[in-house]
Chains A and B, each alone.
Chain A
Amino acid sequence: MKKIVKDYLGKFELTLFSVILALTFIGFIAIYSATRTSPNEQGFFFKQLTTWVLSLVFMVGMIYIPTQHLKTITIPFYVISLLLLIGVLIFGKVVGGQRCWIHIGGFSFQPSEVAKISAVLALAQFLTRQQTNIESLKDICIALFIGLFPVLLIMMEPDLGSSFIFFAIILLMLFWNGISMFGLFFVLSPGAAAIASLFGTYYFMGALVVIIGVLIFFRKDIFLSGSIVAINLAAGFFVDYVYKILSPHQQKRILSFVDPNSDPLGAGYNSLQAKIAIGAGGFFGQGYLSGHQTQLHYIPEQWTDFIFCTIGEEFGLLGSLVVIVLFGVVFLRLIRIATSERDKYLSLVVIGTLAIFVTHFLINVGMAIGLMPVVGVPLPFISYGGTSLLCNMSLLGIVLNIYKNRIER
């Protein structure tokens, strides 16, 4: 009996599971506080509770799906998620200027959340192919294409926040797969060029000069270097194009991050109010259900994008640290599982999961504490949102599955 329990526990990542369960409970507490006084969102608490039960079912299902089946479904799943992303652009419902939701029957979900998982699986699949050579420019480009094709569609919704996540997924998975420094530079430089182009032409030119300097340092052949410069140029112009198709409020959000004083009462307002809420929390917090910023709705979307403000205001530094430490545990656990996993595909899936969780966390919390632009992504396991919770719990299920069936080295 004792052995069975021990055996079972040895196959079950109890720490990861309980930490994530704790995060979902914190989520319930925060969602209740953030929505109880607003007439339109009062039902969110119970909706989230229902989804949570469903997400546990998903998780259990994922724990027991044979891991080799994951590989089998990878390509169909990737194709379906792309179709869903196309579908949302056609049939989607516009909420807040964005076309992110598909409604089927009484349910609605965000295909972009699903696409994140499918991109992780597809990338893992591609990178573990025998003939894939991570050092070849062609294969890097294919990897980029797999990861970025959904971004192209998501940008048309447009959903800026989710797009960042995909970049992080690609980057982290390539890195984990052992990409060389030059390869990494090749992947990273368009991103740097893109961000620089947001700040203006001079920054973009500066970035290009640096990139050319680095290329000279690597002493690669002229054709390769030329292509990289061309890609960087294209990235800059692409961002410029994307910036133009963004809705004005999203443009303002980016502008207000680039120059915080550009619109103090508009886009900068959200960021300011968020900082006020967290600062007002102090060490012990204003007390549950007693945060003025939260209860009087000075923070927009405080049940999703700005849920961390509710925690920061009502539970203070103490509460915020608990959340951060719990996430830290999740991240380190995921790194450990990925490291110990001998199957490259599964290891990459865990790292992809890590990328999803880490970037969501970084953007969401960073937004609330004024370190990230206000682009709007949910905080995993805590923010209100069915699709996000279901996807994240499914990812947890996959990770638990991988842990359970791990082939230790």
Chain B
Amino acid sequence: MIGEVSHSESRKPVIQFLVIFVLAVYISQLIRLQIFNHTELEQKSMENSMKAIEETPLRGVFFDRNMKLLVENTPTYTVRLIPAEYRAKSDSLLESIMGFAPGTIRSIIAKNSQYSSFVPLKLKRGVEFEVIGWIEENIDKLKGVNYIIEMQRGYRDSIMASHLYGYTKEINPKLLEADKYYTPGDLIGYNGLEKKYEQMLRGTKGFRYVLVDSRGREVTQDKARMLAAIKGKDAVLGIDADVQRVAEKELSPYVGAAVAIEPSTGEVIALASSPSYDLNEFSYFTPKEYISKLYSDKEKPLFNRASMAAHPPGSTFKILSAIAALESNVINENSTLGCAGGFTFGRFFKCHGHHGAINVVHAIEQSCNSFFYQLIFKVGLDRLADYAHKFRLGRKTGIDISEESAGLIPTEHYYEKIYGPNWPKGIMVSLGIGQGEVNATPLQLAFYCALIANDGKSFVPHVVKGYLDENKKLVPASYEEVNTGVSQKTFDLVKKGMFLVVNGGGTATNIKTSEYEIAGKTGTAQNPHGKDHSWFIAFAPFDHPKIAVAVLVENAGFGATYAAPIARKMMDAYLLKGKTGIKDYKIAKMEVPD
């Protein structure tokens, strides 16, 4: 049975045409992809398979001014898990080894499910050696679990310096968004020096280029394109480990702060705030309980009192009043003002003694309130404020740690804004003795004291002296010079007064020492909320000042009783370094109000 093909002649060209047409369409699509889109698609192919693996550089460390290591990088274990190789039946064993709650591992894996299952997940950083031992013990049951060594910040020399150093922590999404240098999981400085000097400390990431297959497994390494990581720069701080340690130790029973500055350079020798917190708890993994404990503590351990707590400076401010008065020639060294146990301006303002006719030097020595009550009216509020600004009071000092309060020095304009043009002038009375609206931080008072010590010249206070170059040589950082423009004669007078505070008949004779000469000034900040705050500023040695200190003890009372001995111990630690047999001294029981 042979049927005749009747239509093939007419249908053949149609089919031929269709076949050729479709082949032509395919060929043109191939030309489009392989010729016109070649570059773009080849690029995409490379992006697919070439993976840059970051090499984390070693973070720069901190040295103190004597090249003692303060903050280092210590190796720590990080336990990782490769989901593709890991078996869920190991969950309970691994959870008990790691000290995780049941279900933790499932949730960690689920959280990272969008990444390739061949990319290791970090389960926990900073794992104890014992835990690693247990993992080693069970390694055959824990397929897909391994550990690597990563660097963690290590703090040396029993120094906390929490507010000073700050801490490093895994970068948060917000910061990640802001700076393209970082990738998730990177550590970044979150506070203090670690934050301020992040760019210098972090170094430069290196990259290894590897070929990865579609499942994210490394196939080969491209040696030619390797880029080594560059270590972060090591910072040399002005900090003296001994002074810092003493300051922290002496402050620890109290709430307060202490700052020491080298007068000639502005270098910060010590900066301590109490209560403090443990930086070790912040590196990598911070327990929730620890955080909530810090936040609920009413003494606010996270608050850096050294640069943030602004309180009335009390009598330490009298030196500034004296400087302003002497410089504006409203008094001279011989001018005397009368003290009859107080001063009446609208109402009676008390002094703590009957000082009679008293000159400026003795007024500082005796901390005579009456003298300074009267002085402020001679100087005027704005002129006082001008001088205060010259000493970086009422404005940020510009220190190289992130957080700093400007304090407050009121001007006439300030009161006019609050009370109107006819503001009660009586307010001014207490400003002369550093009470009322006037506010300053321990850092500001330390720098103020350093400027007095160095006759009005210094550099903006700074913690970091510089960094070490490849040859371990210090490359100093440059800082803005500060010059108050106040005359030498004025400084001679006020410094004499400060000298007498400790070595004459002043308010802090309890810290007098035969080893070196101290000049200082006590202060008591009236505190409407509780006990007064105790202030003490000092510098030593008197002739060639090497250290200026400000100490604040909150809710303690009289300045000489609490703050002054701490300042003395800090100065001892600095000036008597290496000398044995530093005598302990008694805390004077002087219950004299300022």
Residues of A within 8 A of B (CB): 128, 130, 172, 175-178, 273, 275-283, 292-293, 296-298, 312, 316-317, 320-321, 324, 327-328, 331-332, 335, 338-339, 341-345, 347, 351, 354, 358, 362, 365-366, 369-371, 407
Across the interface, which residues of A come within 8 angstroms of B37, CB to CB? 279
CB–CB A280/B42 < 8 A: yes
CB–CB A296/B219 < 8 A: yes
Residue ID in chain B nearest A372 by CB atoms: B26
| CA gap between A320 and B214 in the complex, in Å | 24
Mostly, the B contact residues are: helix
Across the interface, which residues of A come within 8 angstroms of B41, CB to CB? 275-276, 278-280
- B1, B7, B214, B215: the one contacting A178 at CB < 8 Å is B7
CB–CB B19/A335 < 8 A: yes
The 0/1 profile, CB within 8 Å of A marked 1, for residues 321-360 of chain B is 0000000000000000000000000000000000000000
Q: Say whether B20 faces chain A, with CB atoms less than 8 Å apart.
A: yes
- A277, A312, A345: the one contacting B30 at CB < 8 Å is A312
CB–CB A339/B214 < 8 A: no
| CA gap between A177 and B8 in the complex, in Å | 8
Across the interface, which residues of B come within 8 angstroms of A278, CB to CB? 30, 33-34, 41
| CA gap between A298 and B214 in the complex, in Å | 5
The 0/1 profile, CB within 8 Å of A marked 1, for residues 7-46 of chain B is 1111110111001101101110111011101101110111
Q: Say whether B76 faces chain A, with CB atoms less than 8 Å apart.
A: no
Across the interface, which residues of A come within 8 angstroms of B9, CB to CB? 339
CB–CB A296/B30 < 8 A: no
Min C-beta distance of B20 to chain A, whole Å: 7
* Known interface pairs A275-B41, A344-B3; A365-B26 also in contact (CB < 8 Å): yes
Min C-beta distance of A126 to chain B, whole Å: 12
CB–CB A297/B213 < 8 A: yes
Residue ID in chain B nearest A282 by CB atoms: B38
Min C-beta distance of B490 to chain A, whole Å: 75
Would you give 20 A-B contacts (Cβ < 8 Å), ordered by A? A130-B1, A130-B3, A279-B40, A279-B44, A293-B48, A296-B214, A296-B219, A297-B215, A298-B45, A298-B49, A324-B23, A327-B23, A328-B19, A338-B8, A342-B4, A342-B5, A344-B2, A369-B26, A370-B33, A371-B29
Residue ID in chain A nearest B45 by CB atoms: A280
CB–CB B16/A335 < 8 A: yes
CB–CB B7/A177 < 8 A: yes
Q: Could you tell me which residues of chain B, from 26 to 83, have a CB within 8 Å of some CB in chain A?
A: 26-27, 29-31, 33-35, 37-38, 40-42, 44-46, 48-49
Q: Say whether B212 faces chain A, with CB atoms less than 8 Å apart.
A: yes
| CA gap between A369 and B27 in the complex, in Å | 10
- B2, B7, B215: the one contacting A343 at CB < 8 Å is B2
Residue ID in chain B nearest A68 by CB atoms: B1
The 0/1 profile, CB within 8 Å of A marked 1, for residues 73-95 of chain B is 00000000000000000000000
CB–CB B211/A292 < 8 A: yes
Across the interface, which residues of A come within 8 angstroms of B38, CB to CB? 279-283
Across the interface, which residues of A come within 8 angstroms of B34, CB to CB? 278-279, 281-283, 312, 316-317, 320
| Of listed A175, A296, A366, residue having the most chain B CB within 10 A | A296
Q: Say whether B422 faces chain A, with CB atoms less than 8 Å apart.
A: no
Min C-beta distance of A49 to chain B, whole Å: 26
Across the interface, which residues of A come within 8 angstroms of B2, CB to CB? 342-344, 407
| CA gap between A371 and B43 in the complex, in Å | 22
Across the interface, which residues of A come within 8 angstroms of B45, CB to CB? 276-277, 279-280, 292-293, 298
| CA gap between A338 and B45 in the complex, in Å | 44
| CA gap between A178 and B11 in the complex, in Å | 7
Top 10 closest pairs, chain A to chain B, by CB: A279-B41, A178-B7, A344-B3, A280-B45, A296-B213, A317-B34, A280-B42, A279-B33, A282-B38, A292-B49
Q: Could you tell me which residues of chain B, from 207 to 234, have a CB within 8 Å of some CB in chain A?
A: 211-215, 219
Min C-beta distance of B161 to chain A, whole Å: 48
Min C-beta distance of B99 to chain A, whole Å: 36
Across the interface, which residues of B come within 8 angstroms of A347, CB to CB? 5, 8
CB–CB A128/B3 < 8 A: yes
- B6, B15, B27, B29: the one contacting A335 at CB < 8 Å is B15
CB–CB B4/A335 < 8 A: no
CB–CB A341/B5 < 8 A: yes
Apart from A276-B41, A278-B34, A282-B34, list 9 A-B contacts with CB within 8 A: A130-B3, A172-B15, A297-B214, A312-B34, A324-B30, A335-B19, A338-B8, A343-B2, A369-B29
* Known interface pairs A128-B3, A176-B8, A279-B41; A321-B35 also in contact (CB < 8 Å): no
CB–CB B49/A362 < 8 A: no
* Known interface pairs A176-B7, A282-B34, A366-B26; A339-B12 also in contact (CB < 8 Å): yes
| CA gap between A356 and B378 in the complex, in Å | 110
CB–CB A298/B48 < 8 A: yes
| CA gap between A287 and B98 in the complex, in Å | 49
| CA gap between A44 and B41 in the complex, in Å | 29
CB–CB A176/B214 < 8 A: no
Across the interface, which residues of B come within 8 angstroms of A130, CB to CB? 1, 3
Residue ID in chain A nearest B42 by CB atoms: A280
* Known interface pairs A317-B31, A342-B5, A369-B33; A175-B15 also in contact (CB < 8 Å): yes
* Known interface pairs A178-B6, A293-B45; A317-B11 also in contact (CB < 8 Å): no
Across the interface, which residues of B come within 8 angstroms of A358, CB to CB? 19, 22
Across the interface, which residues of A come within 8 angstroms of B25, CB to CB? 371
| CA gap between A371 and B212 in the complex, in Å | 29
Across the interface, which residues of B come within 8 angstroms of A366, CB to CB? 26
Residue ID in chain B nearest A177 by CB atoms: B7
Residue ID in chain B nearest A292 by CB atoms: B49
CB–CB B22/A175 < 8 A: no
CB–CB B29/A175 < 8 A: no
CB–CB B35/A317 < 8 A: yes
- A317, A328, A339: the one contacting B20 at CB < 8 Å is A328
| CA gap between A339 and B8 in the complex, in Å | 6
Residue ID in chain A nearest B20 by CB atoms: A328
| CA gap between A179 and B4 in the complex, in Å | 15
Across the interface, which residues of A come within 8 angstroms of B11, CB to CB? 175-176, 178
| CA gap between A311 and B344 in the complex, in Å | 103
Across the interface, which residues of A come within 8 angstroms of B49, CB to CB? 292-293, 296, 298
- B8, B16, B42: the one contacting A282 at CB < 8 Å is B42
Residue ID in chain B nearest A265 by CB atoms: B114
Residue ID in chain B nearest A297 by CB atoms: B214
| Of listed A277, A321, A324, A339, residue having the most chain B CB within 10 A | A339
Residue ID in chain B nearest A272 by CB atoms: B44
- A176, A177, A332, A407: the one contacting B19 at CB < 8 Å is A332
Min C-beta distance of A371 to chain B, whole Å: 6
| CA gap between A393 and B271 in the complex, in Å | 87
Residue ID in chain B nearest A279 by CB atoms: B41
| CA gap between A366 and B46 in the complex, in Å | 24
- B1, B30, B48: the one contacting A276 at CB < 8 Å is B48
